[in-house]
Amino acid sequence: MLSKFKIGLIAFALAMLLTARFSYSQKKEAFVEPYDASKKFSVQVYGTYISSSSLQNDPKSLDPFESNNLVDLKGGYGYGVELDYKPSLWNLDLTFFLSTEYFHLNEDDLVLQFQQDTSFYNVSMTDNFYMIPLELGAKWDLPVSTNSFKVYIGGGAGIYFGDKTRTLGGFLQTHTTSTKPGFSVNILTGLQYYLERNLCADLELKFREGWFDVQSSYDVDFINVRGTTLSLDNPSYNRIIVDGVRISLGLKYNF
Q: For residue range 142-191, list pLDDT tens digits in order.
A: 999 888 999 999 999 999 999 999 998 888 899 999 999 999 999 999 99
**CATH for 184:** 2.40.160.20
Q: What is the mean pLDDT of residues 232-237?
A: 87
Residue 70's domain comprises 34-254
Does residue 60 form part of some domain?
yes
Q: How many domains does the chain have?
A: 1
Tell whether 43 is covered by a domain: yes
In-domain check, residue 66: yes
| 8 is a domain residue | no
Answer yes or no: is 151 within a domain.
yes
Res 3 pLDDT > 70: no
With respect to residue 120, please indicate whether it lies within any of the assigned structural domains.
Answer: yes
pTM of the model: 0.81
- Phi and psi for 41 in degrees, rounded to 5? -115, 155
The reported pLDDT for the residue numbered 32 is: 65
Q: Is residue 5 part of a domain?
A: no
Domain assignment present for 10: no
Question: What pLDDT is attached to residue 179?
Answer: 96
Q: What is the pLDDT of residue 65?
A: 65
